Amino acid sequence: MSKQPSIREIENAFLPAKEITDASRFAGRKEYVESAFYALLTEGTNIAIIGNRGIGKSSLAMQLQEISGGKNDLLRKLKINDNENLDFLTFYYACGGSVTCHHELLEKLLTSKNCLLDWSYDIPKARNFIEKYTPKFSVGFASLGGEKSTKTTTQTSQPEHDIETVFTNVVSSICEEKLAQNGIMFIIDEFDQIKDKTGFASFLKALATNVPNVRFCIVGVAHDINELIADHASTDRLFAGGIINLPPMSNTELEEIIRDAEKSIGNFIKFDQNATNKVVNLSQGHPYIVHLLGKYSLRTIYKNSRKSICDIDIDNTLKSIANEKTDLVLEDRYKKAVGSSAQREIVLKSLAQTQTYNLEIHTKDAYKKAIDLGVDNPSQFVGSLVTEDFGAEIVKIRDRYYRFKDSLFVAYVNARPHLHELKG
């Protein structure tokens, strides 16, 4: 019999709050990893990873970072033919909510310690370009070097170049050093969070001409590349062959996440087939939900010294996730949409349950379900669910058709037990 895993191993068997960095824990996605690898091999192609929240974009991006640095573990695991190890100098930057425009992004890339700052410090030509730009950067250098730069006296002068030129010059001088054979790659995660993206596509175009060895991989929530870039400039050639539109994961891939997690604890605790199917079905293609349900089910079963997880355990986990607000953001959104109305909750759930494969909802189907459950006037509640007061989780796409804004929220609505008691 396998040895009892530690609490640490149990807690890390599933990772709802963390991207997958370890290739052995990265499930499925062969076709997308392969496309991304080919895009990396193609000179001049930038990459965009798009898809819904919680679908696995950042995890794929981090695997790409590994592959771009020549670590081919995932390619081998997926049996993707790899007759070369890439050699990029790759930087990963997540925008969060703090970047307002692409100029600010470039500034962050230049001044963040784990991006270009350290490299520019070591390469005099690059350092010089930055120091001429603005005093702000020199301060960064000074604190980095431990003593103040001797150039502080000239720091009040106007910047000699705009940020795009400085960035281009700096990456160009780093490229000249030939630190990495394939050039430099910037992975920009949460690109959708940048408020004003105007000018980024044109900048990329100019950069491609001036420093051909630089690539961007932009990652974010979007349906297509134009939505992500949100710029009128044409992106066709910039991202040719490099657009990875991540769909929901297949059931086989989602099941693989559970099997990998079991393996990581020596199969000491197992999900029986009913529990596995339940988790997979509830997640509706979102690996995040598998990790969330998996983690908290495993924790409880381990505490109770049991060895097998069944579907009733999953039901109990669902209840405790809701009660304990384990995912505070999703739970708050749920509560905001439902409010104090048992009827609105029924309508919300009816909408989520009648969403079709193309993510549309026909009101006829949703209303019927809600009426069967005792709601008198479902259209009134749909009317409120589109408003900001109730979180605007759904949008009207055309007459009698609605859509949820976020498919991860739909999975949560379907999985979460009722907040208000069902009457009748």
Ligand X SMILES: Nc1ncnc2c1ncn2[C@@H]1O[C@H](COP(=O)(O)OP(=O)(O)O)[C@@H](O)[C@H]1O
Among 39, 75, 171, 257, binds ligand X (CB under 6 A): 257
Query: Binder to ligand X among 18, 76, 136, 400 (CB under 6 A)?
Result: 18
65 makes contact with Mg ion (CB under 5 A): no
Q: Which does 317 bind (CB under 5 to 8 A by kind): ligand X, Mg ion, none?
A: none
Using only C-alpha atoms, the chain has a radius of gyration, in whole angstroms, of: 25
Residue from 54, 248, 294, 391 in contact with ligand X (CB under 6 A): 54
**Encoded tokens for 274:** 């009913």
The residue (of 96 and 241) whose beta carbon lies closer to Mg ion is 96
One residue of 10, 13, 23, 27 binding ligand X per CB under 6 A = 27
- Report yes or no: 109 and 93 within 8 Å, Cβ to Cβ: yes
| Residue pair 351/361 in contact by the 8 Å Cβ criterion | yes
CB closer to ligand X, 26 vs 119:
26
CB of 131 to ligand X, least distance (A): 36
Which residue lies nearest ligand X, judged by its C-beta?
56
The item of ligand X, Mg ion, none sharing an interface with residue 70, based on CB under 5 to 8 Å by kind, is: none
Judged by CB under 5 A, which stretch of 41-49, 57-65, 225-233, 315-323 contacts Mg ion? 57-65
* Among 167, 288, 302, 367, interactor with ligand X by CB under 6 A: 288
Give the span between the Cα atoms of 383 and 346, in whole angstroms.
Answer: 14
Number of residues that bind ligand X (CB under 6 A): 21
User: Which residue, judged by CB position, is nearest to Mg ion in the bound state?
Assistant: 58
Q: Which stretch binds ligand X (CB under 6 A): 56-64, 195-203, 334-342, 409-417?
A: 56-64
Residue 207 interacting with ligand X (CB under 6 A) = no
Place of tokens 């939900």: 289
Residue 287 makes contact with ligand X by CB under 6 A: yes
Residue among 5, 56, 248, 378 that touches ligand X (CB under 6 A): 56
63 belongs to the binding site for Mg ion (CB under 5 A): no
By CB under 5 A, how many residues form the interface with Mg ion?
1
Under the binding rule (CB under 6 A), the answer on residue 29 touching ligand X is yes
Q: Which residues bind ligand X (CB under 6 A)?
A: 15-16, 18-20, 26-29, 51, 53-59, 257, 287-288, 291
Q: Which residues bind Mg ion (CB under 5 A)?
A: 58
